[in-house]
Chains A and B, each alone.
Chain A
Amino acid sequence: DAPLDVTTTKEDQLKIDAIDWLVFNPLQRAEALKQANALMRNFLASRKLTAARAVFDKIPPDSVDVIVQASQSQTHTVELQPEDDNAIKEYLCHQAYLDAHDSFCDWFEHYHNAKPTKPNIPKGASFTERVAFEHKERQYEMDLARWKHNLMMQTKVTCDRLYNVLLFVNGGWMVDQRQDGTRDDNRTHQMRLLRQLCLPGLCFLLHTVLHNTEQYKKCVQLANLVASDQHQLYKTFRKDELQQLLHKIRETSVALLDSGLDPLGYPLIE
């Protein structure tokens, strides 16, 4: 599997810092957003997520408002230029993707590393050792309950954010909604490639979260999401990726059979 994140180089850092120069003047904010988007596209394409996040953080959070206001004062209409409109949507797509990834990393860390370990009673323990052990065991039970609770919360947030990218509104993730502006074939091409590069990966992450938290039925229903004609996610999968997905869903179906349900998670018919 490809690594989830690649280290930022010195050269990358120079490009990231260059964004600073573009955010001084509010009238240039739309341009700053477009440059930042282009840089983030490149970083995502080479899986430099930390670098992409650094670019994202260079853009002040009020930028969408600033762009809308600047446009209104110049054109005196509420409608944005199609290029600016598309740039804002793309920026929100980047945000959704980075958030989903951060959330998954937190979930992964919590699931694998933060789980409390069960204390063992030493053989031939003395009275004081047994008392100490009982104390540790109570502590463990409490820690485990807290861990489970936090895992549940983290799972919910992570799933929501992953679905948020996969079901991105207004035509989908990294798809321009406005078609009435000047065409930028290079940008459109990059966005299409990013869909192919990122979306199957996110589906696999979602499968990992749902399967490991034993939400098997929902996990099998990932097939609905990928196969839906509305969202067209299946078009972003290569054949081998679809095969891999089906193998993973099969694993989940087997887990469902083991728990006494049918392969899709419904009660077995007598």
Chain B
Amino acid sequence: LSGFLQMGENRFMSWLYDISTNNFLNAHQTLYELGVDEKASASKKKTLLSLSKLAALATEDPPESIHNNLEAIADEQDLLLQQEQLPDDVVESLGLEADKMYVYTPKELIQLLIGEFNAHADEFHFKKALDLLAYINKTDADYEILLTQIWCQAILRDDWSAINPDDHLEGCRDTVFFKTVELVHSTGIDLKDYLPMVDVILNNELLADFKENTNFQFLIKACFEQIFRVLKSS
């Protein structure tokens, strides 16, 4: 019977048999594979991984290798939590009920947090987007692209032409961009690893509309100078 249950289509039931025979290690392994493979439903993925975790913890004399699975489950749980906590604006724009969402990748989550769906994005959302970069390999070509996009989108949240150039430092302080910088800095993260060079930002296509806007270019450069001055002194 257990052989039959391990075959393809029947895997989704085999863990029931494993639990009934107190084979929690097998149940854990199957539920883990089902959970990792699940892409169509976030809520289903969550329950499969939760059950897998409980089965792992219920296993008597678990093998060492189970810790790797538990760590992987913790990462997946964290991503699902980020998805559950997407701002209301985003969930509404997607027009999906919370329990009918498919599973978003870290890249998609970042885009949802920083993009136009999130009408009221604040510094906490941009910080979350930066945190999500941890799930993307630094050698992945998209890593740098996303990093730059996060900061450009943060800059685009404010109307920089409304800032008085004579008192620009004070004006910059109220921008989402500056607040994000402060928030990241306050959590002890080294901004130098997370903030691209000012030219990279200004040359990004997201800011193409401001290429000829000298006032805008001046303000952003002044902002960066101020940030790096503070970073150096601290």
Distance (whole angstroms) from the CB of A11 to the closest CB of chain B: 40
Tell whether B125 is near chain A: CB-to-CB under 8 Å. Answer: no
Q: Which of B42-50, B101-109, B223-231 contacts A (4 or more CB under 8 A)?
A: B42-50
Nearest A-chain residue to B41, judged by Cβ: A266
Partner of A234, one of B19, B24, B53, B78: B53
Assess the B16–A227 pair: CB atoms within 8 A.
no
Distance (whole angstroms) from the CB of B66 to the closest CB of chain A: 13
Interface residues on A, range: 20 to 34
Contacts of A223 in B (CB 8 A): 47, 50-51, 54
Distance (whole angstroms) from the CB of B73 to the closest CB of chain A: 8
Assess the A221–B47 pair: CB atoms within 8 A.
yes
Q: In the assembly, what is the distance between CA of A230 and CA of B46, in Å?
A: 14
Q: Which of A196-235 contact B (CB under 8 A)?
A: 220-221, 223-224, 226-230, 234
Nearest B-chain residue to A250, judged by Cβ: B19
Instruction: Name, among B41, B58, B60, the residue most crowded by chain A CB atoms within 10 Å (CB to CB).
Output: B58
Tell whether B27 is near chain A: CB-to-CB under 8 Å. Answer: yes
Interface residues on B, range: 20 to 34
Assess the B47–A242 pair: CB atoms within 8 A.
no
Partner of B77, one of A221, A226, A229, A243: A229
Contacts of A221 in B (CB 8 A): 43, 47
Complex interface bits, A258-269 against B, C-beta within 8 A gives 1, otherwise 0: 000011101000
Tell whether A76 is near chain B: CB-to-CB under 8 Å. Answer: no
Distance (whole angstroms) from the CB of B70 to the closest CB of chain A: 10
Contacts of B46 in A (CB 8 A): 224
Nearest A-chain residue to B49, judged by Cβ: A227
Assess the B51–A246 pair: CB atoms within 8 A.
yes
Distance (whole angstroms) from the CB of A196 to the closest CB of chain B: 14
Assess the B57–A264 pair: CB atoms within 8 A.
no
Assess the B57–A239 pair: CB atoms within 8 A.
yes
Tell whether B22 is near chain A: CB-to-CB under 8 Å. Answer: yes
Tell whether A67 is near chain B: CB-to-CB under 8 Å. Answer: no
Distance (whole angstroms) from the CB of A253 to the closest CB of chain B: 6
- The residues of B with any CB-CB pair to A shorter than 8 Å are 12-13, 15-16, 19-20, 22, 24, 27, 41, 43-44, 46-51, 53-55, 57-58, 60, 74, 77-78, 81
User: Can you name 16 extra interface pairs (CB under 8 A) apart from A250-B19, A254-B16?
Assistant: A221-B47, A226-B50, A226-B54, A227-B54, A229-B78, A234-B53, A242-B58, A243-B24, A246-B19, A246-B24, A246-B27, A246-B51, A249-B51, A250-B16, A264-B47, A264-B48
In the A-B complex, the 8 residue pairs with the closest CB atoms: A227-B50, A242-B58, A223-B50, A227-B53, A250-B19, A224-B50, A243-B58, A223-B51
